[in-house]
Structure 1
Amino acid sequence: MINSLDMQDIAQRAVCPPGQHQDFRKKLDEYGFVVLQPGGADEPSLDDIMSELGEPVEYGFGTKLDLQPKEGSDNLQFTTGGMPLHNDGILNAGPEVRYIGMYCVTAPEVGGETLIASNAAFFAQAPADLLDVMRGITIEYRNRISGYYRDRPEGDHPRVAPIQDDPVTGKPRLVIGLTDRDDPTRTHDATVVGRTAEESAELLDRIKAVLHQPSVLYAHKWRVGEVVIQDNRQVVHGRSAFPGQPRKLVRLSVA
């Protein structure tokens, strides 16, 4: 059980130094994510680590994805822009993503941090009135990247409650995909069902503000060779912008 609900404390405890990777599953379950630092002898590969946690999730591109900028891309994932906080799998019609593993091949000198926000810290910090509102709404998501996700039938846009009970622990979990409404390369649109555009934007901005509090959000600065694993039910994640910088991560998710 997490002893502190401050994300900066959680982040320090979630690190597995070289030679201590055998503790990663315990830390992952307790803190919602873990950072495996490189340098130990006979370190397992990303594939070997993730195979301990479940079966690979199949997307339209396969199971493994190189996250790096692509010239002229109209998909935010393959630009140097920031990625808003989200859970994986909201727009995917396949099995629910449980764990997300990322291995760092190339790290930027400036920017490009992976952003991780703790569910537990969010619920501890969010105002009671905001949580009450969130428990009574659903959010509709519309995919903007044709062929990237497993496309749903025409008109079947996912509608998701932002607060749900975890089927394993019974604890509340945050299920959300924030988006920058002004970014032409955004992966999706998100609107609160039954609210005007202005009301929807205001509510989503309130949620975003809590998620970006330092006590809720950790920004992980990458080192080459590191592996970060996240529990998609305990945290939401995103990315800081890294204009003009190289960055390559390899991602593998399991159900």
Structure 2
Amino acid sequence: MLYALEVPSQGGDTYWLNLNLAYETLDEATKRRIADLQLITYNPFLRDRSASKTKYRLDRNIPLISPVFPHPLVRIHPESGKKILYLDYATEVEVVGLEPEEGAELIEQLRQHLNQPQFYYQHKWSVGDIVYWDNQATLHYRQAFDANERRVMKRVSLAGSRPF
């Protein structure tokens, strides 16, 4: 949950992406193709900061700084049972078992699919607003705003189920 205490005069909106709707609108061939795939999402905070940023791990010769944990590319929500396309935009990833070029092409196709307005909710904040969301089934990000203004929120996070 976020509770708005101060909001900038312009910008600072929050966008949420419905990952279930993104999955449901995939064509059937793509759903079959990704049904059992595992994805490794690399932690951007555990990277060599001097290395160039990539969105797909093409060079497997670069040593890893952190452990890796594969997870399903298609996740089943633990409460609703709905399928979720469990992927974000900018974090470096790798599809387990696919050649790097094939995996990179698939991920780029899925990320292009995610980038459609019908999957988003945009919230323009007013002081006093409270918004809550299911972090297991959405992505979210904040729009930029003037650095001379403030955006002050209180955040409450509730414990949930295992991520997959």
Identical aligned residues as a percent: 27
AA of the residue aligned to 1:238: Y
Q: 1:112 to 1:158 in 2, by over 3 A?
A: farther
Residue of structure 2 in register with 1:144 after alignment: 44
Whether 1:248 aligns to 2:148 is: no
SS class of match (2:17): strand
Correspondence list, 1:41-190, <5 A: 101-145=1-45, 155-179=66-90, 188-190=91-93
TM-aligned CA deviation for residue 210 of structure 1: 2.4
State the alpha-carbon separation in 1 of the partners of residues 146 and 77 from structure 2.
37
State the alpha-carbon separation in 1 of the partners of residues 82 and 31 from structure 2.
14
Contact 1:117 1:216 in 2 (8 A): yes
TM-score (norm 2): 0.68
AA of the residue aligned to 1:235: T
Q: 1:145 to 1:109 in 2, by over 3 A?
A: same
Q: 1:220 to 1:206 in 2, by over 3 A?
A: farther
Over 6 Å off, 4+ runs: none
**Higher relative contact order structure (alpha carbons within 8 Å, sequence separation ≥ 6):** 2
TM-aligned CA deviation for residue 218 of structure 1: 1.4
Residue of structure 2 in register with 1:207 after alignment: 110
Matched residue count: 140
Contact 1:211 1:217 in 2 (8 A): no
Structure 1: segments with no counterpart, 5+ residues? 1-100, 147-153, 180-187
Contact 1:177 1:190 in 2 (8 A): no
Structure 2: segments with no counterpart, 5+ residues? 47-64, 160-164
Any idea what the Cα deviations from partners look like across 1:57-89, whole Å, max 9, x if unmatched? xxxxxxxxxxxxxxxxxxxxxxxxxxxxxxxxx
Any idea what the Cα deviations from partners look like across 1:75-120, whole Å, max 9, x if unmatched? xxxxxxxxxxxxxxxxxxxxxxxxxx11222323333321112234
Contact 2:11 2:144 in 1 (8 A): yes
Q: 1:145 to 1:202 in 2, by over 3 A?
A: same
Any idea what the Cα deviations from partners look like across 1:172-200, whole Å, max 9, x if unmatched? 13333331xxxxxxxx5322223455443
SS class of match (1:115): strand
SS class of match (1:230): coil
SS class of match (2:89): coil
TM-aligned CA deviation for residue 205 of structure 1: 2.8
Residue of structure 2 in register with 1:193 after alignment: 96
Q: 1:156 to 1:216 in 2, by over 3 A?
A: same
Q: How big is the alpha-carbon RMSD for the aligned residues of Structure 1 and Structure 2?
A: 2.6
TM-aligned CA deviation for residue 163 of structure 1: 0.9
Q: 1:192 to 1:168 in 2, by over 3 A?
A: same
